[in-house]
């Protein structure tokens, strides 16, 4: 039996071997353990003593995965360095440390592009003072973020080069580089090389007594075992790492291990145990305000609820996951604003330094002028010459900028013309198809109502005549056969797509046809599929056309590589979520085209609602809610 405990509740799940696993909430001992640091910070002298406390506090919060606290002390560290009246070389040593802290905070929040920016800044400062430790640390951090962004070739190239450059001087950091190399090899399905790399890292960790690194590597080895379908071995790795990580205060390892256990239970079909593990980890992720792990946990939980056909909870989890992603996007914008603020403050400091330097130069110039007229004349000449050179340089830059602007405007105009041409072609095709459908419907209606009606009337008249001669019977049969033929022709002219095929199969076939072009990967997820197939033909046709319009807009404007379509029916409300990973746009400045107007008109006719959520460089989510009645028995 496998016993799973959450707080004071116990759930028993049958397994082959008898084991006990406890999922507990993480105790919050932050105030107690950090009190000495807070007291020391009150009296610490401005400069290096305070910087040391910031670094220790940030290190503590990185281990605990407290993302907001990491960013808080990283920002505070950076501000005080900029206000520190010390030589630039001395500042650079602390700047590379502050950038490393900020990069870690961004990584935990899922802001990988921001983290990469901070690491590059850190490398620049470390190279300026020839500090090999932080050069290596920042390059290792870059490798991890490239892995998180699925840029594995970049990660492998960077980490192998960094190990060659710094292993002799900073051998204690090589374990971390080996771990991320193992991750990249695993992602590229080079399992043998991943196993060899991680085992080398494990031996080095045990030899140096680095428990945190050892537990981290165990989780990676568990992934390899899971990939080889050795679930028992994988479970042992995950559970040991999770428990020892929790006991030692390594909450990042705790989250990773718990999420892997939940996913393992899901693969085994033990959905109750999976939900128990994931729900507890989610509470802990919320407690630590860690958006990255919240998103990972919800992604696995959505698969669990879908597998158990608990579509209400699956939809709720999907909605919460969308909210978390929205928070990450909002945080991205806030971090960008924060960086701009820091850059502005840095510029102000540089201006103050420049003003002080200028005053000093003026004093020295005055002294020199008093000593000798010749030097004064030379200085006067230089003072006149420099502004002239500056004006010439400014004029040259202006000409260059104007040339570049003209070139870009020309490119934009070409793109606009091409977009209009494509739109016109699409409109012509749509108009042609629509005209054909309308004409077919009109002809079918005429055949059915006019000719069919006349034939029916003639048949009735013959039926009312007295007599049962053979010719009369034959004539009545021929009229009946002709009437049936006219009726069949009229029905053939009306599109049969939605009567001969299941609704969801039509959408899936359409999605596959788009994916097969190689321009866009389209996923379609109906929940629950049986009830969705049963909605009436009118709603089916309108929803199908809405999806076609949305797909056309995505192909024309979004520059996306993938689209996810979720169609859910809950309590007679049909929900359509259309999400792409394209360039996005500012919703307050959108210009409505014919396609969007058609979508709005169709939704209005169905008494539905439309909501569009988009952020630049973060994709677009279109959410549509339509009240509906099914015809399922």
pLDDT (tens digit per residue) in 216-266: 889 989 989 888 889 899 899 999 998 998 888 888 888 888 998 988 888
Neighbours of 28 (CB within 10 A): 12
Q: What is the 3-state secondary structure (H, E, C) of 7-76?
A: CCEEEEECCCCCEEEEECCCCCCHHHHHHHHHHHHHHCCCCHHHHHHHHHHHHHHHHHCCHHHHHHHHHH
**CA 10, CA 23: separation in Å to the nearest integer?**
10
Average pLDDT over residues 602-611: 90
| 463 confidence band (pLDDT: 50, 70, 90) | low
User: Which segment of 11-15, 26-30, 304-308, 486-490 scores lowest on mean pLDDT?
Assistant: 11-15
**Strand 19-23 to strand 562-570: parallel, antiparallel, or no bridges (unpaired)?**
unpaired
User: Which segment of 9-18, 150-159, 308-317, 319-328 scores lowest on mean pLDDT?
Assistant: 9-18
Peptide bond before 528: cis, by omega within 30 degrees of 0? yes
Helices of type H across 249-310 = 251-268, 271-287, 291-307
Average pLDDT over residues 368-381: 74
Predicted confidence at residue 580, as pLDDT, reads 92
Give the model confidence (pLDDT) of 174-210 as tens digits: 878 888 898 899 889 888 998 998 988 889 888 888 8
Average pLDDT over residues 290-306: 84
Global pTM?
0.43
**Strand 9-13 to strand 609-614: parallel, antiparallel, or no bridges (unpaired)?**
unpaired
Pick the more confident residue, 139 or 436: 139
Q: 500-627 maps to which CATH number?
A: 3.30.565.10
Average pLDDT over residues 309-325: 83
Predicted confidence at residue 204, as pLDDT, reads 87
Pick the more confident residue, 497 or 471: 471
**CA 309, CA 628: separation in Å to the nearest integer?**
21
Picking from 255, 313, 246, 301, the residue whose alpha carbon sits closest to that of residue 275 is 301
**CA 609, CA 604: separation in Å to the nearest integer?**
7
What letter does residue 171 receive in the DSSP assignment? Answer: G
Backbone angles phi, psi at 26, to 5 degrees: -80, 125
CA 31, 35, 39, 41: dihedral to nearest 10 degrees? -80
**CA 222, CA 103: separation in Å to the nearest integer?**
27
Strand ranges in 73-194 using DSSP code E only, listed in sequence order = none
**CA 565, CA 556: separation in Å to the nearest integer?**
18
Predicted confidence at residue 448, as pLDDT, reads 58
Query: Over 60: is that where the pLDDT of 373 sits?
Result: yes
> For residues 201 and 171, is the Cβ–Cβ distance under 8 A?
no
Residue 249 φ/ψ region, left for φ over 0, alpha for ψ in the -120 to 50 degree band, beta for the rest:
left
Residue 566: its H or E element: strand 562-570
Task: Kindly give, in sequence order, each residue whose CB lies less than 8 Å from that of residue 393, ignoring residues fewer than 6 positions away.
Answer: none
Give me 625's structure tokens. Answer: 């809610």
Percent of the chain with pLDDT over 70: 77
Neighbours of 540 (CB within 10 A): 22
| 5 confidence band (pLDDT: 50, 70, 90) | very low
Q: What is the CA radius of gyration of the chain?
A: 35
| CATH T-level assignment (fold) for domain 131-205 | 1.25.40
What letter does residue 450 receive in the DSSP assignment? Answer: I
Query: Over 90: is that where the pLDDT of 576 sits?
Result: yes
> What number of residues does the chain have?
633
> For residues 408 and 415, is the Cβ–Cβ distance under 8 A?
no
Predicted confidence at residue 335, as pLDDT, reads 56
Query: Over 80: is that where the pLDDT of 273 sits?
Result: yes
Give the model confidence (pLDDT) of 425-450 as tens digits: 656 756 665 666 667 667 766 665 55
**CA 526, CA 507: separation in Å to the nearest integer?**
10
Give me 40's structure tokens. Answer: 């020391």
Predicted confidence at residue 566, as pLDDT, reads 93
Backbone angles phi, psi at 261, to 5 degrees: -65, -45
**CA 470, CA 481: separation in Å to the nearest integer?**
17
Predicted confidence at residue 3, as pLDDT, reads 33
> For residues 68 and 58, is the Cβ–Cβ distance under 8 A?
no
Predicted confidence at residue 121, as pLDDT, reads 94
> For residues 607 and 627, is the Cβ–Cβ distance under 8 A?
yes
What CA–CA distances, in Å, run from 570 to 306, 312, 314, 603, 625? 14, 7, 11, 18, 11
Predicted confidence at residue 610, as pLDDT, reads 92
**CA 105, CA 71: separation in Å to the nearest integer?**
5
Mean per-residue pLDDT of the chain? 79
**CA 152, CA 106: separation in Å to the nearest integer?**
20
Neighbours of 305 (CB within 10 A): 21
| 4 confidence band (pLDDT: 50, 70, 90) | very low
Give the model confidence (pLDDT) of 7-66 as tens digits: 323 333 333 333 444 444 554 444 446 788 888 888 888 888 898 988 888 888 887 778
**CA 325, CA 65: separation in Å to the nearest integer?**
18
- Location of structure tokens 């420049």: 354
Domain coordinates in residue numbering, the chain? 31-110, 131-205, 402-495, 500-627
């Amino acid at each position: 039996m496998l016993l799973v405990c959450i707080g004071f509740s116990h759930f028993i799940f049958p397994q082959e071997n008898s084991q006990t696993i406890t999922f507990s909430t993480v105790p919050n001992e932050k105030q107690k353990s950090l009190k000495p640091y807070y007291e020391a910070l009150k009296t610490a002298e401005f400069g290096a003593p305070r910087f040391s406390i910031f670094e220790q506090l940030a290190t503590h919060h990185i281990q605990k995965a407290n993302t907001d606290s990491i960013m808080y002390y990283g920002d505070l560290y950076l501000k005080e360095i900029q206000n520190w009246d010390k030589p630039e070389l001395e500042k650079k040593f602390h700047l590379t440390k502050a950038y490393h802290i900020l990069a870690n905070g961004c990584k935990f929040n899922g802001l990988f592009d921001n983290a990469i920016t901070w690491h590059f800044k850190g490398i620049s400062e470390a190279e300026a003072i020839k500090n090999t430790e932080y050069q290596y640390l920042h390059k290792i951090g870059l490798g991890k973020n490239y892995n998180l962004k699925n840029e594995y070739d970049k990660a492998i190239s960077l980490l192998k080069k960094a190990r060659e450059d710094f292993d002799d001087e900073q051998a204690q950091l090589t374990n971390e580089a080996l771990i991320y190399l193992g991750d990249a090899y695993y992602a590229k399905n080079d399992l043998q090389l991943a196993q060899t790399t991680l085992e080398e890292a494990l031996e080095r960790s045990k030899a140096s007594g680095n428990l945190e690194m050892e537990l981290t590597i165990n989780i990676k080895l568990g992934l390899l075992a899971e990939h080889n379908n050795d679930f028992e071995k994988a479970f042992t790795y995950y559970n040991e790492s999770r428990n020892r990580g929790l006991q030692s205060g390594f909450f990042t390892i705790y989250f990773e291990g718990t999420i892997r256990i939940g996913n393992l239970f899901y693969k085994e079909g033990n959905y109750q145990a999976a939900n128990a593990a994931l729900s507890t980890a989610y509470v802990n992720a919320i407690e630590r305000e860690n958006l990255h792990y919240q998103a990972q946990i919800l992604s696995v939980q959505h698969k669990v609820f879908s597998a158990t056909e608990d579509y209400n909870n699956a939809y709720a989890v999907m909605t919460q996951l969308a909210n978390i992603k929205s928070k990450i996007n909002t945080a991205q914008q806030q971090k960008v604003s924060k960086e701009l603020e820091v850059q502005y403050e840095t510029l102000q400091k540089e201006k103050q330094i420049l003003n002080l330097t200028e005053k000093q130069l003026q004093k020295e110039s005055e002294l020199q002028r008093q000593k000798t007229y010749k030097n004064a004349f030379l200085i006067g000449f230089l003072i006149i010459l420099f502004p002239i050179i500056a004006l010439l340089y400014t004029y040259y830059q202006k000409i260059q900028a104007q040339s570049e602007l003209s070139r870009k405007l020309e490119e934009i105009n070409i793109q606009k013309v091409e977009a209009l041409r494509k739109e016109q072609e699409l409109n012509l095709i749509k108009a042609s198809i629509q005209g054909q459908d309308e004409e077919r419907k009109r002809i079918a209606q005429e055949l059915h109502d006019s000719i069919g009606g006349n034939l029916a009337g003639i048949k009735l008249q013959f039926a009312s005549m007295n007599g049962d001669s053979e010719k009369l019977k034959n004539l009545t049969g021929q009229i009946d056969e002709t009437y049936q033929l006219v009726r069949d022709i009229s029905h053939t002219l009306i599109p049969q797509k939605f009567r001969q095929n299941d609704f969801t199969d039509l959408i899936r076939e359409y999605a596959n046809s788009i994916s097969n072009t190689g321009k866009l990967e389209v996923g379609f997820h109906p929940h629950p599929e049986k009830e969705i197939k049963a909605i009436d033909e009118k709603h089916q046709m309108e929803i199908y056309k809405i999806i076609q319009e949305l797909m056309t807009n995505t192909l024309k404007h979004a520059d996306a590589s993938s689209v996810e379509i979720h169609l859910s029916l809950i309590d007679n409300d049909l929900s359509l979520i259309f999400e792409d990973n394209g360039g996005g746009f500012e919703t307050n400045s959108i210009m409505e085209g014919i396609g969007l107007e058609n979508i709005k008109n169709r939704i209005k006719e169905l008494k539905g609602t439309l909501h569009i959520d988009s952020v630049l460089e973060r994709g677009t989510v279109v959410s549509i809610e339509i009240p509906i009645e099914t015809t399922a028995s």
